[in-house]
Structure 1
Amino acid sequence: MFSLLLSTVLLAVIGAHAETHEVTFTNNCGSGTPMLIQGPNVLSTGGTYVSNGPLISAIAYLQTGPCGFNGEGCTLIETTLVNPTTPGSGSSTDISLIPPHSFSVSSGFGYFSGCDGAGADCTSADCTTAFHQSTDTQVQVACQADNVNLAITFCD
């Protein structure tokens, strides 16, 4: 009986502290479909996505017609949302215009429920807040908060 009670309490404590992350979209462009992709999986086509655990190597873009499945030909947002286990090992998000990606619509992101105010916007093909080549690592926006969420906006 005691072990059942202890197991129940432990599960409740673990569940209360489980890692979660939310990705939301705002599309002010008037057309197009927001896409959230992880590997071969479509996680969202514009609705809020909740990850029960880390969200590793996900991409987002606005499908306006010519975008490839992995955002080829479009402005790409890349993200990993993960609770940090050591200093510097938390979440990171960026905008990429490295070919085969290219500017398609103004795109931006911002963290919320942790690291509020941290983010980036790219409103033109020559924006300085996006990767244009793989060495542009200064454009990555890190967040070291647990359970941080991400808001993505198209056509600010």
Structure 2
Amino acid sequence: MLYRIFAVLAFVVAYVTAERHIVSFHNRCGHGTPTLVSQRGKILSTGAPYVSNGPLLGAIAYLQTGKCNLNGEHCTLVETTLTNPQCPGCGSSTDISLIPPHAFSVTTGFGYYHGCNGIGANCNNPSCITAFRAPEDNHVQVSCQENDVNLAVTFCM
């Protein structure tokens, strides 16, 4: 009986402290489908909030306007890893990418919430300085070092 009580308590503690992240979308364009794709090429969401019970590693988001390929080619891309930091600087990181074959398609932005509130980036034209244009443009990455941070992606702000 005592073993069962400890097992239930261990489960409750693990559940309460489990890592969790949400990616939500705001499509203000009046057209297109917000799309979230996993690192393995699986579509995770087509507009509904996506809940990751654990880290979300290497996901991409874009507004499917009919010209984007599965990996967001030909469109403005948001790349994200949402993870609780296990060491200094090892937390979440998100960016906007226009590295070819990605290209500006619609105004796109993102912001963290439920931690690092107000931190994010926007790209409102093909020449925006907040997007990757080459693989070495690491200065445009936006990090968050808080647990269970969420991400809002907005199109046509």
How many residues end up aligned between the 2 structures? 156
Q: CA–CA distance in 2 between the matches of 1:6 and 1:116?
A: 37
Unaligned runs of 5+ in 1: none
Alignment partner of 1:59: what SS?
A: strand
Q: CA deviation at 1:40?
A: 1.9
CA–CA separation in structure 1 for the residues paired with 2:89 and 2:75: 29
Where does 1:19-98 land on structure 2 (aligned, <5 Å)?
19-38=19-38, 39-98=40-99
The superposition leaves residues 23-68 of structure 1 with CA deviations (integer Å, 9 ceiling, x where unpaired) of 0000000100000000221000000000000000000000001101
Letter in 2 for 1:30: G
Letter in 2 for 1:121: N
**Which structure 2 segments of 5+ residues have no match?**
none
Regions of 4+ moved over 4 Å: none
SS in 1 for 2:6: helix
Following TM superposition, by how much is the alpha carbon of 1:135 offset from its aligned partner in structure 2, in angstroms? 1.0
TM-score of the aligned structures, taking structure 1 as reference length: 0.99
| Offset at residue 85 of structure 1 (A) | 0.5
State, as a whole percentage, how many aligned pairs show the same letter: 58
TM-score (norm 2): 0.99
Who is 2:10 aligned against?
10
Q: Return the letter of the residue paired with 1:43.
A: L
- Pairs within 5 Å for 1:112-131: 112-131=113-132
